[in-house]
Structure 1
């Protein structure tokens, strides 16, 4: 087994806690959950609504993936967290699915939670696999 590589992506989203943007071992890349913050203005207010926040989270995941030489096509699994599950689940799904081809959707778990960092409505983490 290779030793893990701990990635911090220059220009990536500012961490809201002590963590690496991604950790890689044996071709697997595990991305920390991303928040709907703007990397160019991390102290700016969050986007309004679950659709805008979902787009920002997915864009932040793309930034981290690009920083390790991957993209969303390498994602095999996502975990999604919603603070207003019943209200936002359908709108979240409509926005989320636009980031993946219909025939290449990652495995996914989505759960309702009581709160997220920075007052976010949505957070997503994921696992990607490097091509062999």
Structure 2
């Protein structure tokens, strides 16, 4: 089997990642799953890495920044950054009240000409009483 074929086979097997220094999961999941060129990052909560019992911050501003910081830890742990993100899913428990402020904070993490595709959904509840959760899909260019 040649090297290229071996690399293609390796890319077709999903890799399940737990990232050191990322927040402890609030349920049973991996921080990310890599399948080929795509990395699906589990939704992050506004929890503190290494302090799972610490109360989450109050308010949509503090929670959004905490969620984005947690996503950045996961991305960095996989050798990625915001420029690799191609899609995001956002979940807000108080959609009408929080949507505009969430958008301002969220968009500040991306260059204006490189905003990922996104869906933002109002939900009835999130784990730990959070007001916001965000998940991502990132793209990694594989070596040729």
TM-score by length of 2: 0.89
Q: State the Cα deviation string for residues 34-81 of structure 1 (Å, max 9, x = none).
A: 000010322111111001100010110000011111011100000000
Unaligned stretches of 5+ in structure 1?
Answer: none
- CA distance in 1 between counterparts of 2:114 and 2:141 reads 15
After TM superposition, list the pairs within 5 Å mapping 1:71-86 onto structure 2: 71-86=81-96
Unaligned stretches of 5+ in structure 2?
Answer: 1-10
User: Which is greater in Rg?
Assistant: 2
1:121 equivalent in alignment to 2:127: no
1:68 to 41, 63, 78: 78
1:13 matched residue in structure 2: 23
TM-score by length of 1: 0.97
Per-residue deviation at 1:8?
Answer: 0.3
1:94 to 104, 109, 125: 104
Provide the aligned C-alpha RMSD in A: 0.9
